[in-house]
């Protein structure tokens, strides 16, 4: 549940931030005319900046290798699914899709095996967002006209997965969805 961890982390930061700003404000209310405020400002600013740079550096080093471009990059997918999108439908097929008369098929993907979705659009930009059976967004990629985006994923849980469009594509945007099964 990466999203819940993110939310928890964010709320922790918000809590710290709120306490910080409230205490700064309260300190000014308590201060009198003789109060001098922060001393050795430049030194404190230096340490604050250094800590910030180190923390951000650690976060960047920890998260960049987990970017989707590098995940499963050196493995060969056992299944390839072609995905065509157009207002307001998804077409999923194990064979390449003809943009002039697009059609899809019922898709079943074996679990614990690497699958590659080759995603494109035949009209405007769309999103290809995969939701697990508990309706949690687990991975996504954009569908862009003139380009094919390759998304690799290994499903671990069998069940029915939903696909929603996550790039605004017109009035039918919220009804653009389909499903596939992981077996």
Partner 1 sequence: MNIDSLKLKKISALWIIVILVLFIASIVLGILMRLNQGKVIEQSPLTFYTNMTTHGLTMIGIWFAAGMVAVNYLLQRYVKTSYGVNLFAFILTVIGVVMLWVTTYAGKFSTGWTFLYPLPFRDLGSESWSTPLFLISLTILGVGWLVWSVSLMAQIFKKYTLAQAFAWQHFKSNPTVETPPFILITTVTLVGVIASLIAAVIVIVLYFAEYFSHGDFVNDALLMKNLIYFFGHTIANEMLYLGLAVIYEIFGEVSDRPKWKMTWYISLAWNCAMVFILTAFFHHLYMDFVQPQALQIVGQLVSYLASIPSAAVTVFSIVAAVYGVKVRWSIVNLLFFLGVAGWVIGGLGAVIDATISNNIMLHNTLWVPAHFHTYNAMGNVLFSIGFFYWFSTQYVDKLVLSKLTKYTLTLLIVGGIGFLMAFYVAGANSIPRRYSTYPVELTSGPYLAKVGALFATIYLIAILIFFYNIAKRCFVILSASSR
Name the minimum Å distance from CB 51 to partner 1: 10
Can you state the percent helix, strand and coil of the chain, rounding each to 5? 30, 30, 40
Phi, psi at 153, each rounded to 5°: -155, 150
Name the minimum Å distance from CB 69 to partner 1: 5
Q: What is the DSSP letter of 68?
A: T
Cα 116 from chain centroid? 17
Q: What is the DSSP letter of 145?
A: B
Whose Cβ is closer to partner 1: residue 39's or residue 183's? 39
Whose Cβ is closer to partner 1: residue 31's or residue 108's? 31
In the Cβ-directed half-sphere of 16, how many Cα atoms lie within 13 Å?
A: 5
Whose Cβ is closer to partner 1: residue 56's or residue 94's? 56
Name the minimum Å distance from CB 34 to partner 1: 9
Name the minimum Å distance from CB 174 to partner 1: 4
Q: Give first-to-last CA distance, the chain, whole Å.
A: 21
Residues 6+ apart with CB under 8 A from 84: 90, 91, 93, 97, 99, 102, 104, 120, 121, 122
Closest Cα to residue 130, out of 143, 146, 121? Answer: 143
Name the minimum Å distance from CB 107 to partner 1: 18
Whose Cβ is closer to partner 1: residue 80's or residue 144's? 144
Whose Cβ is closer to partner 1: residue 86's or residue 97's? 86
């Amino acid at each position: 549940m990466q999203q819940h961890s993110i939310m928890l982390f964010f709320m922790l930061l918000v809590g710290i931030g709120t306490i910080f700003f409230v205490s700064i404000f309260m300190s000014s209310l308590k201060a009198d005319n003789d109060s001098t405020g922060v001393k050795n400002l430049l030194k404190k600013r230096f340490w604050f900046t250094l800590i910030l740079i180190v923390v951000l550096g650690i976060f960047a080093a920890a998260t960049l290798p987990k970017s989707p471009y590098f995940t499963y990059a050196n493995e060969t997918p056992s299944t390839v699914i072609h995905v065509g999108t157009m207002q307001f439908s998804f077409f999923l097929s194990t064979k390449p899709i003809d943009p002039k008369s697009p059609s899809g098929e019922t898709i079943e993907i074996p679990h614990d095996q690497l699958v590659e979705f080759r995603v494109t659009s035949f009209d405007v930009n769309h999103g290809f967002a995969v939701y697990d059976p508990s309706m949690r967004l687990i991975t996504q990629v954009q569908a862009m006209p003139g380009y094919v985006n390759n998304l690799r994923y290994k499903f671990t849980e069998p069940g029915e997965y939903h696909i929603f469009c996550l790039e605004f594509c017109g009035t039918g945007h919220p009804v653009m969805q389909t499903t596939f099964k992981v077996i």
